[in-house]
Structure 1
């Protein structure tokens, strides 16, 4: 049975729809939204064609095309989640590698069954390792590999399992678990984790998004080197209670194309180890986030602006406002938004309150100067 959008919100000239069954967001214009409303009340094809022809004044053949397209939209955004988790009895003998990390003063232990399993998660948080910790870990995670499946445990209880090819899902779930330990929260407390980096001037934060290869992580690393503070890289958590962005301590993944520019900006960059992250990314370096010594770090920051970064060789520096739909097409596909209806509504309200920009540049210092002025503007 096809399910209609559970929520709908007017956003200027467009409509933002939320489908609860797939926890997905769709943006349509007013014309398409009118057709969707007709579809919801006239699910039979002949009934829809008749209603569309009378209400909108289009031909029967055009109405039929509209019906098929909307029917496809609903089908694409209608599915029920199925638990495909495989069980593997916990076995401490799988613990081949073990690391203890210090997070907000508390010890956290992660055990890995194989070196390649460790490579999935460890490089981003290697700077949190404590060789001499007297703290007894309150939380112990285990990541095991067996039968082409990755198994994720918390305090010996299985959280979930994943086909090896879906290791990125494990990465996301591990980040969520670490985030909850870091801030003393549960998954239910979070509105979402946005596929964006976040920088701050210690008063407010700006979310930085970007299509793959356009220099988002490089830009945030330069911003950090220029005196701004990094709140989170690639994984920006939003708390449902106050809609603020919270810190997440992962290192910044830097691709080889940015090595030369950052080696001049970040002390010790040339000595950082190369980590191979697959054919698509190649070898990367992980830059440890550091704070401006003149400021006291906070756990969270208010945020009302989002900037899409676009590094384009030989281009002029240009900052322009863009519609929310353009920004959402970039960050939503790889973000996690809470599937609860109350949170979906809060997320839509939060999006409505943001200002969206695109920053195109080739001169990094000039771009940083333009970017930094957004902290003082009203948006």
Structure 2
């Protein structure tokens, strides 16, 4: 008999969003299916639930039992979630004696010393943070070491190993690097973060809005246009939100500008003409980096709206509210969400409070005016 609740649920539109504790997985269920989970968690027998389900849906009881048992297995059996193991035991690996590059980044009142073994390691981190570089410093607050050994990239912080990732998982290394940065900047441990979203966050100094959408839809370009028109770039690509305040926190990386956006942005940001260009073959994109206009990397602001934005040539401006279910299905797959049960409940409650929009545009001025209206609750 199951009496422990291994999942959380929240109604959205005519569906139910369910979070499974054993896998940290969110799925959208029909309300009938979600109701079965709730009854199982109360200790009601499979036989009793199947009998009621059989009558309700006019299906054979045996078929209902099979469905319930399969659902029960998914919820209550621990998921084998082992990460790919490193073949060798690297616990005793030594940090290299010599690094080709050492950079010092100043963020707020903190100085980060980051050493990169070669140009390869440098290229994975430095471009996004080059605007934070200061002259070599004898004093620093945090020390990062990044080096490749035996086809794995290693990350050490203050002489302690954090992890190692193979070539297929470089994005996990980059995510971990960024997560450690925000922990140090904002003095919060990993379990104090509700989640990190693959989005762009813009603010009017009172609150923030998240822009989401597939790569190439114009998130970063829209952010660059908005920061040139009185708004502030809070974060780009890596948007952290905390548990305690349920607010978006600033992240100091530069705004990534794709090649096809240069024509639009060069008249506003002439410095992009001579900025370095980076070809990320793995991601099939060429980008330059634009310094954000944020002057306060301590800042954190509430977020009440999600905007799924898309630039579409010759399109009329269309801005409509979309269903929570549609928004959820677009938000979650690219996000890191805390596996802690209390944090998962906070995420569901926060999401339930949001207003979600789909914004399609071709005219930049109309887009900026519409975003202003969203900030001012005029839509």
* TM-score normalised to structure 2 length: 0.88
Partner in structure 1 of residue 100 of structure 2 = 96
Aligned mates of 1:171, 1:42 — CA distance in 2: 46
Partner in structure 1 of residue 17 of structure 2 = 16
- Superposition map of 1:4-83 within 5 A: 5-34=6-35, 36=37, 52-59=53-60, 63=64, 70=71, 78-81=79-82
Q: CA deviation at 1:259?
A: 1.0
Say which SS state the counterpart of residue 253 (structure 1) adopts.
strand
Contact between 1:272 and 1:285, CA under 8 Å: does it hold in 2?
Answer: yes
Contact between 1:39 and 1:70, CA under 8 Å: does it hold in 2?
Answer: no
Say which SS state the counterpart of residue 333 (structure 2) adopts.
helix
Aligned mates of 1:362, 1:27 — CA distance in 2: 33
Q: CA deviation at 1:42?
A: 8.5
Q: CA deviation at 1:79?
A: 3.4
Q: CA deviation at 1:127?
A: 0.7
Partner in structure 2 of residue 240 of structure 1 = 243
CA separation of 1:364 and 1:72: change in aligned 2, threshold 3 A: farther
For structure 1, which runs of at least 5 residues remain unmatched after alignment?
A: none
CA separation of 1:281 and 1:22: change in aligned 2, threshold 3 A: same
- CA-to-partner distance for each residue in 1:331-375, whole Å, 9 max, x for gaps? 212211111111111111111111111101111211111111111
Q: CA deviation at 1:64?
A: 8.0
Q: Over aligned residues, Cα RMSD in angstroms? A: 2.9
Partner in structure 1 of residue 356 of structure 2 = 356
Count of residues in correspondence between the two structures: 373
Partner in structure 1 of residue 114 of structure 2 = 110
Q: CA deviation at 1:37?
A: 5.0
Partner in structure 2 of residue 126 of structure 1 = 130
- Superposition map of 1:330-349 within 5 A: 330-349=330-349
* TM-score normalised to structure 1 length: 0.88
Q: CA deviation at 1:172?
A: 0.5
For structure 2, which runs of at least 5 residues remain unmatched after alignment?
A: none
Say which SS state the counterpart of residue 332 (structure 2) adopts.
helix
Contact between 1:255 and 1:281, CA under 8 Å: does it hold in 2?
Answer: no
Contact between 1:90 and 1:157, CA under 8 Å: does it hold in 2?
Answer: no
CA separation of 1:313 and 1:183: change in aligned 2, threshold 3 A: same
Partner in structure 2 of residue 148 of structure 1 = 151
Say which SS state the counterpart of residue 175 (structure 2) adopts.
helix
CA separation of 1:319 and 1:128: change in aligned 2, threshold 3 A: same
Aligned mates of 1:238, 1:33 — CA distance in 2: 28
Partner in structure 2 of residue 178 of structure 1 = 181
Moved more, 323-332 or 110-119: 323-332
Aligned mates of 1:171, 1:43 — CA distance in 2: 46
